[in-house]
Structure 1
Amino acid sequence: MSRFLFVVPPLVGHINPAVSVAAELVARGHRVAWAGLPRLVEELAGPEAEVFPCDIPGVVERPAELRGAGALQFLWQEFFVPLAEAMVPGVELAAREFRPDVIVADQQTLAGALVAERLGIPLATSSTTSAEFSQALASMPKIGEWIAGLTADLRRRFGDPARSHDPRLSPDLVLAFTSEELAGDCEIPPQVHFVGPALTHRPAPPDFPWAWLDESRATVLVSLGTANTDVGARFLTECAAAVRARGRRIQAVIADPGGVLTDESDTDVLVLPLIPQLALLERASAVISHAGHNTVAESLWHGVPLVVAPIRDDQPLIAGQVVAAGAGVRVRFGRGDRRTVGAALDAVLDEDGYRAAARRIGDSFRGAGGAAAAASHLEKLAL
């Protein structure tokens, strides 16, 4: 039996894949513990999860107008670096008390990587997006140099200064929760293993009105994730208008966790703060998304094509992968209106090539092995 310590940020989309892998390891007789925010980890991994608490810095709201390099700089200055600084003591205590054979650190929890190298513990990276090995910063060399300076300073204070690799990518094992077919022509380091999405069972809200769905119409799922409610009102309103204009043949379920839509639900559009996304994807004909990696992966797993409207961070990269794979249409988030969104919806619903490409990517996901493949790679690292 081996021991695995999962180090995760306070982000649902980053914890969910780790939950599936951890469950597989436990089923194989291994012991698993977590370092992170106990409330969130227990909510997603179950109340029986063994969690070592870590301090989490307060959330700093990112200005809605920030895009591109400015948004990336803000993310590093106000989230990644403070998160690493706050989590290091808790991660180190967890490592010393739990004595893991392997630390599995999310690519955004640098504390896990730094503590692992300082204590000499084998490290695996949990990569929920291919952005870090996609040369996404090739067009912004000064930003890349600036980030390298930040990680070097963190390593000097908390890690092993003799190391020189990017702490976001373990030199021994990187579990990429996607497939080569979707990642495309990225420059892939040899330690990266594509395992496809590790989907976690999530119980549906008990009060979802399943009877509202009209089986004679195509169902469109609209979601901008949980971190974009501050900028989503206009775009969601335009999506609703595009659907209503096609109400005789389509209907939409819109996730609105921030309550930004003022229109009430009607026979064409159902607006809810929380939706059973995985269960709905089994019935969906198309998805409108911000190109967040998890929503994209879950949609393609189910063979559902997408209309992608990336906002910031790695979303333009993921949107580009969807379009390059032929599994969706991209619209501009800032300028997308009911006309452009509607035309994109018509394309993915009416042109068979998009659904065929989505199914092809879904097949590649299943062939990659998911949580079982990830667990096998971790077992080898623990030997």
Structure 2
Amino acid sequence: MSRILFALTPITGHVRPALPLVRALADAGHDVVVYTGTKFAPAVAAAGATVAPVVHGRDLDDATLDDWAREHGAPEPGVKRLQWDVTQHFLGPVPGYLQDLEAVVAQGRPDVVVLDTTSVAGALLARRHDLPSVQVTVTPLPVSSRDTAPFGTGLQPPRTGLQALRYRVLDAVIKRVVFRDAQRAALRLVDEVGVPRPDGFFMDWMPTFATRVLHLSVPSMEYPRSDLPGNVEIVGAVLPHGVDLFEPPAWWGDVVAARAAGRPVVLVTQGTVATDPERLLFPAIEALSDGEALVVVTTGTAEPQDVLPHPADHVRAARFVPFEHLLPMVDVMVTNGGFGGVQQALAAGVPLVVAGRTEDKAEVGARVAWSGVGVAMETDPTTDATTSRAVADGVRRVLDNPSFARRAREVAQEYAGYDAVARVVEVVEELAGTSAGSEAVAA
């Protein structure tokens, strides 16, 4: 039996994909400890792991991130907000998280540290203690490459030499100007931790810190790179099948009837972070108000009656419906581009209409368009809101052009060819065995 430590950023889209991994490792007899936010403690315990509490770190409910940002003086969306988000959310909480993780290690040295894409504290902990680590990605692959545009811009790979040159210039501006202060802050953080300074841009450090990077996606949804680091492996998506109980909502029969009658069913979802309904939910409901489609809305962090006190006749709403049951009934999913939800849709063969640019969503939308499984729409640069006309055009385009559904079904077959949970467990156990062997030799 090995001791496995998960260090997870307390955001729903980062924790939920890890729960099947936690369960699989616990079921295999390993001692699994998970450090993440209090909100997720019941789910972690239900997965069979020990919960390591947040004591000194920032224990923030991700549903209140926007409120927290406003209360702490966040600028309006734009370059300054991007700079603020990186320093406040990516780098700012690291010392507190790291202090907590050190206490966990003091109680029992782990054989392997498993961390998500943004768990800087987990990466630094593993580096400080010379522990093998596995990074499981919960975003599009954030690895810089000469074959791609700078990550976060939402630009597809260059098609010409001139475009590639422009991307290199843009990359230099982003790293040397936009994030100059963040780079300095990241270097100070590394110095304080007492580990050697890594080379290059701080946003590229995470993959280099990890022993192995297991990308939770499929090749069709990731740009090819001729310079991909050797420690990166695409392993398929971790889908939360069987994680949630399914109690059909009162209107479930309407969905079944629509499906049987050939009436389009459109799912509209905004995930758990960027949840302002003015951005996407309300425009989508208005866009589909002709009643031709049955619109299913998931409100995520709020009760449906609080968001839609008087829903239109063509709308059915619930706070949450397990996607494994809902998506097989859906013709198109309209989303702001959360990585996990998009992958669940594609694993079910559902084409997409994506409208969102915050967090990693611009990159998700770009990959949706690039792979041919849906369309990506522009949003307001200040509010990140779309328009009803844009949604209507996007849904009509996907419904009228069968190539999107055909391509989504092809990608679904690709997802079905992977067993991400089994592969992650295999890699973790391999590293744990190596780590335990090294400890024994040292002793």
In structure 1, the residue corresponding to 2:417 is in which secondary structure?
helix
Equivalent runs, 1:46-85 vs 2, <5 Å: 46=46, 48-55=48-55, 56-57=57-58, 58=60, 59=65, 60-61=68-69, 66-85=76-95
Corresponding position of 1:155: 190
Q: Tell me by how many angstroms 1:48 deviates.
A: 4.3
Q: Does 1:202 align with 2:238?
A: no
Report the CA distance shift for 1:64/1:304 in structure 2 as closer, same or farther (over 3 A).
Answer: farther
Give the Cα separation in 2 of the matches to 1:65 and 1:207.
41
Q: Tell me by how many angstroms 1:301 deviates.
A: 0.8
Q: Tell me by how many angstroms 1:45 deviates.
A: 5.3
Amino acid in the other structure paired with 1:378: V
In structure 2, the residue corresponding to 1:196 is in which secondary structure?
coil
In structure 2, the residue corresponding to 1:310 is in which secondary structure?
coil
Q: Tell me by how many angstroms 1:205 deviates.
A: 5.6
Amino acid in the other structure paired with 2:52: F
In structure 2, the residue corresponding to 1:356 is in which secondary structure?
helix
Q: Tell me by how many angstroms 1:117 deviates.
A: 1.0
Corresponding position of 2:155: none
Which residue of 145, 151, 156 corresponds with 1:136? Answer: 151
CA deviation profile, 1:230-283 (whole Å, cap 9, x unmatched): 3x32532220022222x23x2111122346744622431113333333321121
Corresponding position of 1:235: 280
Which residue of 375, 397, 408 corresponds with 1:347? Answer: 397
Q: Does 1:298 align with 2:344?
A: yes
Corresponding position of 2:156: none
Q: Tell me by how many angstroms 1:289 deviates.
A: 0.6
Q: In 1, are the aligned partners of 2:332 and 2:398 still within 8 Å (CA)?
A: yes
Amino acid in the other structure paired with 1:140: I
In structure 1, the residue corresponding to 2:142 is in which secondary structure?
helix
Amino acid in the other structure paired with 1:168: M
Q: In 1, are the aligned partners of 2:8 and 2:116 still within 8 Å (CA)?
A: yes
Give the Cα separation in 1 of the matches to 2:330 and 2:34.
34
Give the superposed CA RMSD: 2.4
Q: Does 1:192 align with 2:232?
A: yes
Show structure 1 runs of 5+ residues with no match. none
Q: Tell me by how many angstroms 1:180 deviates.
A: 2.1
Identity percentage over the alignment?
A: 25
Corresponding position of 1:21: 21
Corresponding position of 1:221: 267
166-175 or 201-210: bigger deviation: 201-210
Give the Cα separation in 2 of the matches to 1:297 and 1:122.
28
Which residue of 94, 108, 126 corresponds with 1:98? Answer: 108
Amino acid in the other structure paired with 1:358: A
Corresponding position of 2:317: 271
Give the Cα separation in 2 of the matches to 1:270 and 1:44.
31
CA deviation profile, 1:76-96 (whole Å, cap 9, x unmatched): 222122221221111111122
CA deviation profile, 1:155-198 (whole Å, cap 9, x unmatched): 11125135547542234201111122211234522111111211
Give the Cα separation in 2 of the matches to 1:289 and 1:331.
10
In structure 2, the residue corresponding to 1:324 is in which secondary structure?
helix
Which residue of 387, 395, 403 corresponds with 1:337? Answer: 387
Report the CA distance shift for 1:307/1:87 in structure 2 as closer, same or farther (over 3 A).
Answer: same
Instruction: Name the larger-Rg structure.
Output: 2
Q: Tell me by how many angstroms 1:127 deviates.
A: 1.3
In structure 1, the residue corresponding to 2:90 is in which secondary structure?
helix
Report the CA distance shift for 1:204/1:347 in structure 2 as closer, same or farther (over 3 A).
Answer: farther
Give the Cα separation in 1 of the matches to 2:34 and 2:43.
13
Which residue of 240, 254, 261 corresponds with 1:212? Answer: 254
Q: In 1, are the aligned partners of 2:279 and 2:386 still within 8 Å (CA)?
A: no
Q: Does 1:364 align with 2:364?
A: no
Q: Tell me by how many angstroms 1:3 deviates.
A: 1.9
In structure 1, the residue corresponding to 2:321 is in which secondary structure?
coil
Corresponding position of 1:108: 118
CA deviation profile, 1:181-220 (whole Å, cap 9, x unmatched): 2112345221111112111233246362222323322211
Give the Cα separation in 2 of the matches to 1:360 and 1:67.
37
Corresponding position of 1:9: 9
Give the Cα separation in 2 of the matches to 1:65 and 1:83.
19
Give the Cα separation in 2 of the matches to 1:98 and 1:367.
37
